[in-house]
Amino acid sequence: MASILPKPNKTRLAQLAELSAKIFNNVYNPKGERTGNKILRQKLIGPTVVDWYPKRIITLRKITDMFPRMELVNQEEKLRLEEIAKRKKRGKGAPKKVHTHELPPLTPTTLHIHFLASPINPSDINQIEGVYPLRPTFTKELGVLSDGEHKELAVGGNEGVAEVIAVGDQIKDLKVGDWVVIGRSGFGTWRTHAAATPNDVTRIDNKGIGLIQAATMTVNACTAFRLLKDFVTLKEGDFVIQNGANSGVGQSVIQIANAWNINTINIVRNRPDIDDLKARLKSLGATHVVTDEELGCYKTKELIKEWTSINNNVGVKLGLNCVGGKVSTEMAKYLCRSGYHITYGAMSRQPITIPASLLIFKNIKFLGYWMSKWNQVHSKEERIEMLNEVIGLIRQGKLGDIAHDEVIWGNSNENDESLKIKFLDVLDKANTGFHGKKQILKIQL
């Protein structure tokens, strides 16, 4: 007679399931909790997704960047230059002529100014190329051309210092002999004289400041001031990293940061006289200077880690980018968690690639800054307050001249063609890489 086996109890069944899981290397989950194993056992779709995208092909731009000595033609750059040539044919290009005209009669609410010095900035060149958001002011008040045509004209330049030579009866806060800087973009500073209103200019106290410092403070120094002031609360000993460190803004960042006891890591392009450039930037107060080629190497990464770990420093809080392209991406990798990466220029004309890891895991914030927009949305009183702080740094000897070339221009003894040739030569130098010095027109009558 067959015997009937007793039904095993729940404890024995649980023990059997646990033993089976150990033998067959399965997950023992007696409570039936959701573990995600069902998803993990599914076939991976990563390879399928990767195969869906076209295979990456190395581009000419990458080859050109890797092997600059081969002097290959970058087709994108060629097309850009062709586009600029087309814009020039439509009147958007380097100034065509030196134009002489009479100033309009003085009115009770206007003033006449004589420019003393006017720099040539990268944004000025972008403006006359037609690729800058703000256009110069076109007006028929500049008189009739030599061929008798009376049409709208514009003057290039957005920065400069001038002296008041005549004041309308109703203007009370300006007098003859005052120095003024231009208060709005598109006014036109590459000229000897201009008619203006009080809203076009801002008076500065020129006691204890030089002509070049006054001429370059509203773009370079003020941009540097706002970049260091507006995004991150920096304290003594903090670190800032920037590319384009030898630019006008870059040199101002170095000096202002040094005055506030803030450390700077400065990136410049490699060049034959790189040791001289590094020495010059360090003489301005740069804490460290590296080249773009050194930036991505292991040794530099270890050095920056060592520099920024002193005194329990959290790392690099602020990154300032005026170049774009690969160097801006590489620079962003050195920022600490929740750091700020601020773009205020794009001299390489290359886009910024942002790795997702910097957004997800480090919470890096990528923002832009435009000095012209700051001037538009802030009051004249706020602008004057900023200028006074910058002038204070100059008087204390903490903010000096940036590297520059002075070009005497506007002399009445020179004819229009000579003045034009001299100006176009200065414009070419301002648009040339590795020149390293800001071109400044020093106006003489």
Catalytic residue list: 132
Q: List residues bridging with 164 in a β-sheet.
A: 113
**Contact residues for 238 (Cβ-Cβ < 8 A; gap 6+):** 232, 262, 263, 313, 317, 318
The H or E element containing residue 429 is helix 416-430
Report angle CA 381, 207, 399 to the nearest 5 degrees. Answer: 80
> CB-based burial of residue 256 (10 Å sphere; 0-12 exposed, 13-18 middle, 19+ buried)?
buried
Kindly give the pairing relationship between strand 161-167 and strand 263-268.
Answer: unpaired
The neighbour count for residue 139, using CB atoms within 10 Å, is 11
Residues 6+ apart with CB under 8 A from 335: 241, 315, 316, 317, 318, 319, 341, 358, 362, 364
Spacing of C-alpha 129 from chain mean position: 18
Burial of 89 per CB tally in 10 Å (0-12, 13-18, 19+):
exposed
